[in-house]
Chains A and B, each alone.
Chain A
Amino acid sequence: MKEKRDDIISGAVIAMIAVVYYLYSFTIQQTTSDILGSRFFPQLASILLFALSVIQIVQALRKKTPESEAAAAVQRASKDEKKINLPLVLTTAALFVYFFLVINIGFTITSILYLLFECWVLMPDDIKKNRKMLLIVAFICFAVPVFLNTVFYKVFHIQLPVGRLFM
């Protein structure tokens, strides 16, 4: 049941993407240098994408689910929807924050902060109470970015982002 619902939703989202992609292709400047032109390929891809997403939706609708299983699945799905997976949300947010921080405060500090945060998010609860383990993790989180920055700068002569604040 969940798979059927997922397939319908993902098929609908992809169909919408295909429509937007197709409509946006008309903003591409049409060229006459070749027969097909610069719009042809994107338009062909979006038409095929739309057709396949429709096929996916039709296939999903045709799938049969036993009634009892369907009822149980609906209950499970509604429970799942209420639950927010906090580690996943925090990890995703951290990835975006990394991008914004790296521009401003550079690679080394951002990476240290990111590693400390992400390790904390992924860390099993029993390790969080182990002070010695926490110290080791903190040391590694500090050492890895410093080591990478030093190697890239001193050995490979590549300057990793220094950040606007330190420019």
Chain B
Amino acid sequence: MQLLGGFATIASIETLLLMIVGTFGGLIIGALPGLSAFTALAIMLPFTYGMNPVSGICFLISVYVGGSSGGLISAVLLGIPGTPSSIATCFDGLPMAQQGKSKTALSAAIISSFVGGIFGAVVLSFVGPYIAQVALKLSSYDYFGIILFALTTVSSLAGKSMVKGLIACLLGICLSCVGTDGLSSVYRYTFGITKLVNGFSLVPVLIGLFAVSQIMASARDKASQKSLDFSGTNQNEGERFTFAEYFKRIRMIIPVSLMGLVIGVLPGLGGNISNLMAYSYAKKTSRHPETFGKGEVDGIIASETANNATVGGAMIILLTLGIPGDNATSIILAGFQMNDIAPGPLLFKTQGELVYAILAGFVLANVLFFLMEYFGLPIFTKMLSIPSMLLLPIVIVCCFVGSYCANNNTLDILIMVIFGIVGYALKEHGFPLAPMVVGFILSPMLELYLRRSLMKTGGQWLPIISSPVAAVCILATVITIGYSLFKAVKKPVA
């Protein structure tokens, strides 16, 4: 009922127009490789000066939702994740586009994003404050356990060779150690280069690995035109994916939605991780895991449902506790502060009308992005009719812009190029890139929480494994690794 009141509050022409502009702007920026929802929000934040609080916050939320879901377009059509949240969408998105099923892949991704987003919004409206209280009680032991378990996604992203998957993951871990140690502020592997003090940014690393390596592969295959060649595929052949087909997979959708939501609630974790974990879960529980990575629509559904449910989770922790769950929500928090609103436990009591207006805005933003993407689908698929000799260089120029804009640092362009060469060399030798990204994202947090936990316990491991959440996660990690090894040993040698 209160949510309906929220819809009444935002039902003004000004707010609705701002939300349409915000969603569209976020979508376009999110679709450009390297530019994420965070960049979109940073760009759009100054525009909210002078807006009334409801309009301003709803505008920012629209940008956030649009930016988070825009990444799926380039992930599906080009195999380049528009945002880190859509890394796993690439794995099956591009193969489907290459098979002429870009329409099916895109519509499945759009429906999944929409349902994931609405799921997050509904949970946020009804049980958000309770979930946030539970999340706040988790200790560093629990976070260590959760992140350790998240690392097991590597086992399902490893591809043909588990050894190569683990090597790629460890290379990612090694690279993440570059920069300032989070706990002691000591420099590691910076080689005296001041600009490396903050380590490698995720954006140039990601687009280097996925986008630059692709243009290099395209150049290599120029004669045979193998890479990213859509000629000969009729992109109209694929049918649009429907809601009915989506809900047939309800047994997979519920767990991945919950996974996305819970990861969103946990501060520091976000869509970067939830999409990979959900993909891994979908592959492990699938009856035909061998089809994953070759154009399996379930892979897209899992990734996109989870990463958009994460947005709802991040909003829960922001609204109810005032803690930004990820970079993007920290900009929304700045938007709150600009309007003298202090998010936290009292917000629901003292400014209930505003809170429910924001929640209604969140639901509406999801509807808006769905309408824009679903009906804009024929325009997006037209992108594939652009010859790859023109499309790829243009995408690379957009990547240069994305890398630079992440920190306004030209060195990031060089880092992107170097990681492109690294990614190309690894792919050429059969090393999967996704485990490397997983290692790169997760290991700084894993190290931080492990060392913090051991500081708390005075070097004792027993209190860590005695914590219920940490114990369950560590046990689940051991079982998952054990099962993967068992399967690898049992598999007949070709």
Nearest-Cβ distance from residue A72 to partner chain B, whole angstroms? 19
Question: Does A33 make an interface contact (CB < 8 A)?
Answer: yes
Question: Which residues between 72 and 128 of chain A lie within 8 Å of chain B, taking CB atoms?
Answer: 85, 87-88, 90-92, 95-96, 98-99, 102-103, 107, 111, 114-115, 118-119, 121-124, 127
- Tell yes or no: B394 within 8 A of A by CB: yes
Check B186–A38 contact: CB distance below 8 A. yes
A119–B450 touching, CB < 8 Å = no
Q: Which residues of B contact A38 (CB under 8 A)?
A: 181, 183-184, 186, 188
Residues of A within 8 A of B341 (CB): none
Instruction: Return the contact of B219 from the options A41, A53, A91, A102 (Cβ within 8 A).
Output: A91
- Complex Cα distance, B216 from A121, in Å, reads 11
Task: Determine the distance from Cα of A34 to Cα of B164 in the docked complex, in whole angstroms.
Answer: 32
Q: Determine if B17 is an interface residue (Cβ-Cβ < 8 Å).
A: no
B404 lies within 8 A of A161 (CB): yes
Set B43, B390, B410: member contacting A102, Cβ < 8 A: B410
Does any Cβ of A come within 8 Å of B218's Cβ? Answer: yes
Q: B181, B215, B428, B458: which contacts A91 (Cβ < 8 A)? A: B215
Bound CA–CA A33/B184 (angstroms): 7
Tell me whether A48 and B417 are in contact (CB under 8 A).
no
Contact digits for B382-426, partner A, Cβ 8 Å, 1 yes 0 no: 000000111011101110110011001010011001001100000
Chain B residues within 8 Å of A91, by CB: 215-216, 219
Tell me whether B212 is interfacial, beta carbon within 8 Å: yes
CA distance A103 to B400 in the complex (A): 12
Query: Does B459 lie at the interface of the complex (its beta carbon under 8 Å from any beta carbon of A)?
Result: yes
Do the beta carbons of A124 and B389 come within 8 Å of each other? yes
Is A61 an interface residue when CB atoms closer than 8 A count as contact? no
- Which residue of A55, A59, A122, A157 contacts B218 across the interface (Cβ within 8 Å)? A122
In the complex the two chains form, what is the Cα distance from A6 to B429 in whole Å? 6
Is B455 an interface residue when CB atoms closer than 8 A count as contact?
Answer: yes
User: In the bound complex, do residue B397 and residue A115 qualify as a contact, i.e. CB atoms below 8 Å apart?
Assistant: yes
- Beyond A6-B430, A34-B455, A42-B174, whether A98 also contacts B400 by CB under 8 A is yes
Q: For residue B404, which residues in chain A have a CB less than 8 angstroms away from its CB?
A: 107, 160-161
Residues from chain B with a CB closer than 8 A to the CB of A103 are: 410
CB distance from A120 to the nearest CB of B (A): 9
Q: CA–CA, A92 to B184, complex, Å?
A: 38
| B454 contacts chain A at the CB level, 8 A cutoff | yes
Q: Say if the beta carbon of B110 comes within 8 Å of chain A.
A: no
Q: What is the size, in residues, of chain A's interface with B at 8 Å between Cβ atoms?
A: 65
Q: Are B410 and A49 within 8 A (Cβ)?
A: no
Which one, B117-125, B165-173, B317-325, is touching chain A? B165-173
A78 to B401, CA, bound (A): 40
A41 near B177 (CB under 8 angstroms)? yes
Return B485 CB to nearest CB of chain A, in Å: 12
Q: Does A16 have its Cβ within 8 Å of any Cβ on chain B?
A: no
| Measured CA separation A111–B404 after assembly (Å) | 13
- Shortest distance from the beta carbon of B2 to any chain A beta carbon, whole Å: 36
Residue B222 at the A interface, CB < 8 A?
A: yes
**Cβ A144 vs Cβ B394 within 8 A:** yes
Q: Could you pull out 30 A-B pairs where Cβ atoms are within 8 angstroms?
A: A6-B430, A7-B429, A7-B430, A9-B429, A10-B431, A21-B174, A31-B183, A31-B184, A33-B455, A34-B183, A34-B452, A35-B458, A36-B454, A37-B184, A38-B181, A41-B177, A42-B189, A49-B167, A49-B170, A49-B174, A88-B219, A92-B219, A95-B212, A95-B417, A107-B404, A114-B397, A118-B392, A121-B222, A157-B43, A160-B404
B: residues with CB less than 8 A from A are: 43, 46, 163-164, 166-167, 170-171, 173-174, 177, 181, 183-184, 186-189, 212, 215-216, 218-220, 222, 225, 388-390, 392-394, 396-398, 400-401, 404-405, 408, 410, 413-414, 417, 420-421, 428-431, 443, 447, 450-452, 454-455, 458-459
Q: B-contacting residues of A (Cβ < 8 Å)?
A: 3, 6-7, 9-10, 14, 17, 21, 24-25, 28-29, 31, 33-38, 41-42, 45-46, 48-49, 52-53, 55-56, 59, 85, 87-88, 90-92, 95-96, 98-99, 102-103, 107, 111, 114-115, 118-119, 121-124, 127, 137, 140-141, 144-145, 148, 152, 156-158, 160-161
Please name 7 further chain A to chain B contacts, defined as beta carbons within 8 Å, in addition to the given A6-B429, A41-B173, sorted by A numbering.
A36-B451, A37-B184, A99-B413, A107-B400, A111-B400, A114-B393, A122-B388
